[in-house]
Structure 1
Amino acid sequence: MTSVPQQPHPGPAPAATPPAEPSRAPAAPRRAGARTLAAALPAGAVGASLVLVAAGKTWTRGFAVFGGTHLPVHASGTDTTALPGALALVALASLVAVFAVRRAGRYAVAALLTLSGLGVVVMALARRGDHQAIDSAAATAAGLARTTAVDTSVSAWPLVSAAGGLLLLAAGLLALRYGSTWPAMSGRYDRPGARRPVRDRAAASAAAAARPAQVDPERSEDLWKALDRGEDPT
């Protein structure tokens, strides 16, 4: 009697490995970009507004003595130094230009925004106690070139200007750190022949590949291929 060889008993099937969850890493930069953009835009707009408003307000008050009479005089922020207002306009333009440029241009514009905010802070604090503008106003009021203002006092508007500069500085630092994740303006108005980004070229290639091939009605093989693809050659 011949014995039938026994087949080895198969072991338990290995447990199926659950599919790995898709990586969520790319979503994190987008969320960070959205949050920083929502913070940088109001900070830049409010900061520039504070600097421009403070430039037109009175920074220094005093009196010009003339013939025993004390004439009240004052000097505005623009009289004291016009640089903070000019830097605020540069910063505001840079904040808008961040969305019109890409790559290295965006970093350059963000750096200009940061330097503008820093310049506003430095100039507002450095010229806060300067008496040159108020002395000039006193000389004009008294009609004497060597007249100086007395009992001078400094208002809080230079500090308001410095606070606006700090907001501009913060917006610039956010643009330097997270500007690469911020959206950019559409390129539909770019000059013809301009180089498009890689993702745009890839999308155009995919659309061209998905476009159905043209069918020549005079060639029977093209008609059969169209029918195989489920297309109506007519």
Structure 2
Amino acid sequence: MSPRREFATAALMCAVGAGSAVVAGGRSWATVRATDTITPLSQHVTGRELTAVALALGWAGLAGLAALFATRGRVRAAVGCLLALFGAGIGYASATAVRDTNVLRVAAEKSPMLRLDGDAVVQPAAWWIVSLAGGLLLAAAGVIILLRGARWPGMSARYETAGTGGAREGTPPGPPRAGATTRPQDGDASTLWKSLDRGEDPTLTPADRDDGGAREKEEH
């Protein structure tokens, strides 16, 4: 696989992993049902309510994705290390957030009536698994970037420095193209004035002057 293809694959993994954690954070991760209260209760709790860490690290992963495109070399490898840590944190937070004790505590804070029922049942949903999978995917992408990212080209690698005509840095400029207009440099003012005193146009090339002289001779 070429370096650019590796780069694109790792970036896609980061986007999917971090994006999954962000999307799943706003969904219902568990439902608490109580039947021994005055009226049966059913309380949904979201990932954001169970743990704010997974959602925050998901946003951090998306920010790290932007930094991935703006860096190169060892700095990019350091970004990969951070992304791996973000992904591991998302996975750990997602797995621990759906413990019954944590879910019951959060649900009781939302519905005080649940505190009267000691037999409330916790029914986890599938969105915490989506967040967990996204964290693992982000962590895997971070490891790949840490190990391989320093070898990948930067965003500006395909562009050449403006005004160099595509030449690499340090390469001496080639001879002027045929027919190109030669203008005096800023430090050659004396030559400019001498040309004006002789009645010559300093912007003309030697070839233009030769053609002009030949036409004058033909007219005479």
- Encode CA deviations 1:120-169: one digit per residue, 9 max, x unaligned: 11111122224334333234423586766701111122111111011111
Return the letter of the residue paired with 1:127: A
Which of 109, 124, 149 lines up with 2:79 in the alignment? Answer: 109
Q: 1:140 and 1:171, CA in 2 relative to 1: closer, same or farther beyond 3 A?
A: closer
Indicate conservation of the 8 Å contact 2:21/2:58, yes or no. yes
Return the letter of the residue paired with 1:205: G
Indicate conservation of the 8 Å contact 1:62/1:149, yes or no. no
Mapped partners of 1:184, 1:88: distance in 2? 24
Mapped partners of 2:111, 2:37: distance in 1? 12
Q: Which residue of 2 aligns with 1:205?
A: 170
Q: 1:205 and 1:32, CA in 2 relative to 1: closer, same or farther beyond 3 A?
A: closer
Return the letter of the residue paired with 1:153: Q
C-alpha displacement at 1:204, in angstroms? 3.6
Which of 32, 42, 45 lines up with 1:75 in the alignment? Answer: 45
Return the letter of the residue paired with 1:181: R
Could you tell me the percent identity over the aligned residues? 34
Q: Unmatched 5+ residue regions in structure 1? A: 1-30, 188-195, 197-201, 219-230
Indicate conservation of the 8 Å contact 2:77/2:149, yes or no. yes
Indicate conservation of the 8 Å contact 2:24/2:127, yes or no. yes
1:56 aligns with 2:26: yes
TM-score scaled by structure 2?
Answer: 0.68
TM-score scaled by structure 1?
Answer: 0.64
C-alpha displacement at 1:95, in angstroms? 1.6
Aligned residues: 178
- Encode CA deviations 1:31-80: one digit per residue, 9 max, x unaligned: 53123123212211111121112111111111346753221112111111
C-alpha displacement at 1:111, in angstroms? 0.8
Taking the TM superposition and a 5 Å limit, the aligned residue runs for 1:157-168 are 157-168=127-138
Mapped partners of 1:109, 1:99: distance in 2? 10
1:41 aligns with 2:11: yes
Indicate conservation of the 8 Å contact 1:101/1:184, yes or no. yes
Q: Unmatched 5+ residue regions in structure 2? A: 162-166, 177-181, 192-204, 210-220
Compute the RMSD of aligned alpha carbons: 3.1
Q: 1:136 and 1:90, CA in 2 relative to 1: closer, same or farther beyond 3 A?
A: closer
Indicate the SS of the match to 2:70. Answer: coil
Q: 1:186 and 1:73, CA in 2 relative to 1: closer, same or farther beyond 3 A?
A: same
From the two aligned structures, give the one with the greater helix fraction. 2
1:173 aligns with 2:138: no
Mapped partners of 1:117, 1:48: distance in 2? 8
Taking the TM superposition and a 5 Å limit, the aligned residue runs for 1:1-234 are 31-64=1-34, 67-142=37-112, 150-186=120-156, 203-208=168-173, 210-212=174-176, 232=206
Q: 1:145 and 1:126, CA in 2 relative to 1: closer, same or farther beyond 3 A?
A: closer
Indicate conservation of the 8 Å contact 1:138/1:148, yes or no. no
Q: 1:130 and 1:112, CA in 2 relative to 1: closer, same or farther beyond 3 A?
A: farther
C-alpha displacement at 1:94, in angstroms? 1.0
Mapped partners of 1:112, 1:106: distance in 2? 10
Return the letter of the residue paired with 1:206: T
